[in-house]
Homo-oligomer: A and B are copies of this chain.
Amino acid sequence: MEPTDAETACFEAGIKFGTLYHQFAGTPVSPESADSLARAMEEAILNQPHCEDVTVDIRKADLAAAIDHGYTELTGKFMDVEMRIAYEGVTVRTRMAMEDGYPMMRVVDVE
């Protein structure tokens, strides 16, 4: 069957998460550069269609704890992400956070 609007909205939400993660994973990052990277990630993803809101938080304390050569590389374990996608009247809220050592991306709510 053709997807419903809600299913398409969830597909669009997934695209944004895959984009955000794999475009920026591996970026050299330190507590000093975390904020500019988080802002760039938010603004980059907001360019994509149907993306209403993106919040990226890069946890500086976790970065600091992981760094022993001046910087590290961005991975999911250092960031919390929330996104709101709107498509044809459907709003999808999604979140990425660590669960059991894995950066889990989830649909929180569809309305």
Contacts and interface: CB of A to CB of B under 8 A. Distances in A.
Contacts of A29: 44, 47
Q: Could you say which interface size class chain A belongs to?
A: 35 or more
A44 B68 contact: no
A101 B40 contact: no
Contacts of A49: 70
B25 A18 contact: no
Given A36-B43, A44-B29, A44-B33, A110 B7 contact: yes
Interface of A: 1-4, 6-8, 10-30, 32-33, 36-37, 39-49, 68-71, 73, 75, 92, 94, 101-102, 105, 107, 109-111
